[in-house]
Amino acid sequence: MSLKELRERILFVGNTKKMTDAMQIVASSKMHKAKVQLTNSYPYYESISQLLSLFLREGGKVTNPLLGNSIGKKKLLVVISSNESLCGAYNQNIIKAFKAFYEEERENIVQIYCIGKKIKDAVKKMNIPYEVPSWDTKSALLWKHLEDFAQDLMSKFLSGSTDEISFLYTKGKNIMSQEVKREVWLPLPIDPSMKGNEYGDDELSHRYILEPNKEEILNYLLQERIKTKLQRIFTSASFSEHASRMMAMQTAGDNARDLLNELNIQYNKLRQNAITMELNDMAGALM
């Protein structure tokens, strides 16, 4: 490789490193924003969950169509991927998990929602029919979008068109570790410790004054718990995507730096050899 070719290669790798460094900074900023949203939403989510547990445990016998154990004969699946690439194995892992789940449950799946360009493209190649939410995922995702989507999904569940709604997404444990997870969103499962006693004694009404009434409060708590869970699923998927992209860009930047060092060493050696040859030629001409 000539000196000119090495200079061009060094310039190209240097520009690539600048680009990966910039993308790493942007991904880091978005990741921290998603982390803050997850942290800030947790107290409300936990409070709603505790109140709901209290109602189910001490409110006597309660019934609500949003509660129960899944039959799983008519499943609706929502799959979340990213719109963009350059995020490591984030999208590949989601697509792989979707293929495995679909092969196992294809007879029971009645509807699929795809959110994110990468999963849409993959499902389209598999010739599997799918739907997308009414809102445009290319624009900023707002709470209003998620609230409307939650209402739409709940309507489908309550109408009986599906008896299980689950989300397939990437849950971020931390910056270094993410896992693909399928989580049942509806019906909301009841933990045995949360069930009212078999005699239907309403201990809650004896301890608190309930307004407007127990059924309406329970229905409100259920819907808030379900909507907040949906928001946390999307935020966790966003955190995982940006964490994966940040790590991928960091690795690419490290590799570019190592390559730059090697190219600079080669360039300096060639330049030194060229200078030495010129000096030898000059010395030979003078003799």
What does the alpha-carbon distance between residue 166 and residue 169 come to, in Å, rounded to a whole number? 10
Report residue 91: phi and psi, to 5°.
-75, -35
Q: Which residues contact 51 (CB under 8 A, 6 or more apart)?
A: 221
Q: Could you give the number of structural domains in the chain?
A: 2
Asked whether residue 270 falls in the same domain as residue 178, the answer is no
- Whether the predicted pLDDT of 208 surpasses 80: no
Q: What are the pLDDT digits (tens) for 2-19?
A: 888 888 899 999 999 999
Pair 100, 153 in one domain: yes
Residue 286 lies in a domain: no
How far apart are the C-alpha atoms of 169 and 180, rounded to whole Å?
6
Predicted confidence (pLDDT) at residue 193 exceeds the cutoff of 60:
no
Residue 76: CATH number of its domain: 3.40.1380.10
- The model's pTM is 0.85
pLDDT of residue 191: 64
Cα distances (Å, whole numbers) of residue 79 to 76, 216, 275? 10, 32, 61
Residue reference for tokens 């995020």: 87
Which residue range(s) make up the domain with 255?
Answer: 3-25+248-276
> Quick one: pLDDT at residue 110?
93
| Same domain assignment for residues 48 and 153 | yes
Three-state secondary-structure class, residue 16: helix
Tens-place pLDDT, residues 170-185:
998 788 888 999 999 9
Strand partners, 172: 178
Q: Are 260 and 17 in contact (CB under 8 A)?
A: yes
Q: Are residues 10 and 151 in the same domain?
A: no
The residue behind tokens 């059924």 is: 215
Please count the CA atoms within 13 angstroms of the CA of 247 that sit on its side-chain side: 14
